A and B are shown apart, each in its own frame.
Chain A
Amino acid sequence: MSIIKGKVYVLKDDIDTDQIIPANFLNLVPTIPEEYDELGSHALAGLPDSYQPFMKPGENKAEYAILIAGRNFGCGSSREHAPVALGAAGVDAVIAESFARIFFRNCVATGEVYPLEVRDRLCDVFSTGDEAEINIEENTVVNKTTNKTYKTLPLGAAKDVVDAGGIFEYARRAGLCS
């Protein structure tokens, strides 16, 4: 995938994995299809009440395809439930000033979402509900609501892994495993 379009949901700094998927939902197993879907319905359920709800009650797909955040997105736990919950909710990409290491790697390994870094503090110039378009080949994100364009940092080899749908599928296509 090289173009991602949709509504954005904006978050600030240090969004940790407990906010992305609270620990009481870790009894769900991501590889069981119905539990994968249910994880999606709880995506970002741990956000403080100062944020508007990410999910509508009773739904398991969000109206937002893109998250825009500040520094250190995905800090905390190694729970793969976090990128899975976002992917299951229909999020295609997270754009942040920086990512916590394990979360970034889990995004790539699972192929659930594209983790894209930016130098600009986009979480201050995008508003929740803005329409945006990401071009991963050209490393840009356009705010369709304000018509401003920003640069994202190249995802490099990790792009091919997310494109393939995760590390195993990538490895098979690349002939690294059977």
Chain B
Amino acid sequence: MGQTITEKILANHAGIDKATPGENIWVDVDVLMTHDVCGPGTIGIFEREFGKDAKVFDNEKIVLVPDHYIFTKDELCHRNIDTLRAFAKKQNIKYFYEPGTDTYTGVCHVTLAQEGHNRPGEVLLGTDSHTCTSGAFGEFSSGIGNTDAGFVMGTGKALLKVPPTMRFVIDGEIGEGVMAKDVILRIIGEIGFDGATYRAMEFVGSGIDALSMEERMTICNMAIEAGGKNGIMNVDEKTREYVRARTDKPFQEFQSDADAEYYSELVIKGSDIVPCVAKPHSPGNYAPAADCSDVKLDRAYIGSCTGGKITDFIAGAKVLENNKVSIDTFIVPATVEVEQQLVTEKINGKSLRQIFEDAGCQPIAPPSCAACLGGPIDTFGRTHGEEVVVSTTNRNFVGRMGSKDSQVYLASPYTTAASAITGVITDPRKYV
């Protein structure tokens, strides 16, 4: 019996030939990522348990990406960034993307990709549940808590249970006006909000192969929204090209064997996937966008690790070009690189930034997690009342964007932009 890509990577990092689902194994960690919300607590655990003068296991394998609460007046948030700054200095951490300097990048999962920290075959853990995003690069990646992260910080090792793998085949390319977000919302809708708990989600098929790296990241990003331990995809020429343009570090490719054993398999025809939303208050609450035209909206939001990449803004701009938004529309690039691309990327000679301005969107916010998870009271785009929001983000829990009384519909950038024009949930296919 062969092995899946997830089993092979974990076995490789445990120094064993074969990793069996259910088995607990110690693996070597290649990258540990933390940010401003969980970093100070992780550092607190590390210093409490290993000592104030202890050294991290490897100062080039810890990546600090403050991104959650950057543009706020909240003093504790500033204190937390100061904690990371002092730690980075004391430990001589090589990769610290420091707010207020030209090394600041923005949202951690997009930063990991664009700065070359995502590499096939590696094990990447992070103190954020959306760390599973990195699996789009053919690596094992998963979210952990502060205590586990504190342990990894000191030892470079983690005790992981090998997950069984669920295989998802997207057979054939998705249609015009349909995006990766629609693919993953459809999958979560089918298997349920906890349908992949403890398991690996492996996404394969010609429908996946046809997607850009950014779109693949959208799918792996939301593996956690079905409870998945990790999302993962095969490595192909697109992966290699993306990674090699960003790092010189060598990497090892793994592929699932043809006779690997899977927990389950779900095949969806690419052509059957339609623009959709997840209705409040669960990412598993699937409905085709076309069936929700009675939902009146107050706000549209394009941003976050899920929906704030350059491809997301290109999609949004395609829809908004020569149109006007009828509701408050918020644009939050995930990173500084994406923010710059809003100027350099053009559609019919017009920059994306200009298209958003001309369409009547709110002034573009600086890159960060912003209102995706509510946060401090002065967070850009945060809800404070009974707003009904269509959003490219990943969660629509009660109160997720700030107010317990607001309602969030998760959607692709196409659907979000089309709905911003009409003020109701709208199937975007007539706009693209």
Are A46 and B38 interface neighbours, CB within 8 A?
Answer: no
CA distance A80 to B76 in the complex (A): 18
Q: List 29 A-B contacts (CB under 8 A).
A: A18-B373, A23-B400, A26-B68, A27-B76, A27-B77, A29-B44, A29-B80, A31-B45, A31-B146, A47-B398, A72-B193, A75-B194, A75-B227, A76-B129, A76-B397, A78-B129, A79-B37, A79-B38, A79-B145, A80-B147, A101-B198, A101-B227, A102-B143, A105-B144, A106-B146, A106-B148, A109-B148, A110-B147, A168-B151
Task: Give the size range of A's interface with the partner.
Answer: 35 or more
Q: A14-B282, A26-B37, A46-B399 are in contact. List 7 more A-B contacts (CB 8 A).
A: A24-B377, A27-B74, A31-B48, A79-B145, A80-B127, A102-B144, A109-B148
Per DSSP, are chain A's interface residues mostly helix, strand or loop, or mixed?
Answer: loop
Chain A residue nearest to B163 in the complex (CB): A101
In the assembled complex, B49 has its CB within 8 A of some CB on chain A: yes
Most buried by B among A32, A76, A101: A101
Q: Which residues of B contact A79 (CB under 8 A)?
A: 37-38, 145
CA distance A46 to B69 in the complex (A): 19
Are B38 and A102 interface neighbours, CB within 8 A?
Answer: no
Could you tell me which residues of chain A, from 50 to 97, have a CB within 8 Å of some CB in chain B? 71-72, 75-81, 83
In the assembled complex, B61 has its CB within 8 A of some CB on chain A: no
In the assembled complex, B197 has its CB within 8 A of some CB on chain A: yes
Are A23 and B41 interface neighbours, CB within 8 A?
Answer: no
Are A110 and B197 interface neighbours, CB within 8 A?
Answer: no
Number of interface residues of B (CB under 8 A): 46
Chain B residue nearest to A81 in the complex (CB): B41
Q: Which residues of B contact A27 (CB under 8 A)?
A: 37, 69, 74, 76-77, 80, 376
CA distance A41 to B362 in the complex (A): 36
Are B397 and A98 interface neighbours, CB within 8 A?
Answer: no
In the assembled complex, B404 has its CB within 8 A of some CB on chain A: yes
CA distance A14 to B225 in the complex (A): 11
Chain A residue nearest to B24 in the complex (CB): A157
Q: Which residues of A contact B399 (CB under 8 A)?
A: 18-19, 22, 46
Q: Which residues of A contact B373 (CB under 8 A)?
A: 18, 23, 77
Q: Taking A19-B398, A31-B41, A46-B398 as contacts, is the C-beta distance between A14 and B193 under 8 angstroms?
A: yes
CA distance A18 to B371 in the complex (A): 13
In the assembled complex, A142 has its CB within 8 A of some CB on chain B: no
Give how many A-B residue pairs fall within 8 Å (CB-CB): 130
Are A80 and B80 interface neighbours, CB within 8 A?
Answer: no
CA distance A79 to B145 in the complex (A): 6
Q: Taking A19-B397, A80-B146 as contacts, is the C-beta distance between A29 and B40 under 8 angstroms?
A: yes
Neighbour of B400 across the interface among A18, A31, A47, A71, CB < 8 A: A18
In the assembled complex, B167 has its CB within 8 A of some CB on chain A: no
Chain A residue nearest to B377 in the complex (CB): A24
Chain B residue nearest to A18 in the complex (CB): B397
Neighbour of B398 across the interface among A48, A72, A83, A110, CB < 8 A: A48
Neighbour of A166 across the interface among B147, B229, B404, CB < 8 A: B147
Most buried by B among A29, A32, A79, A100: A29
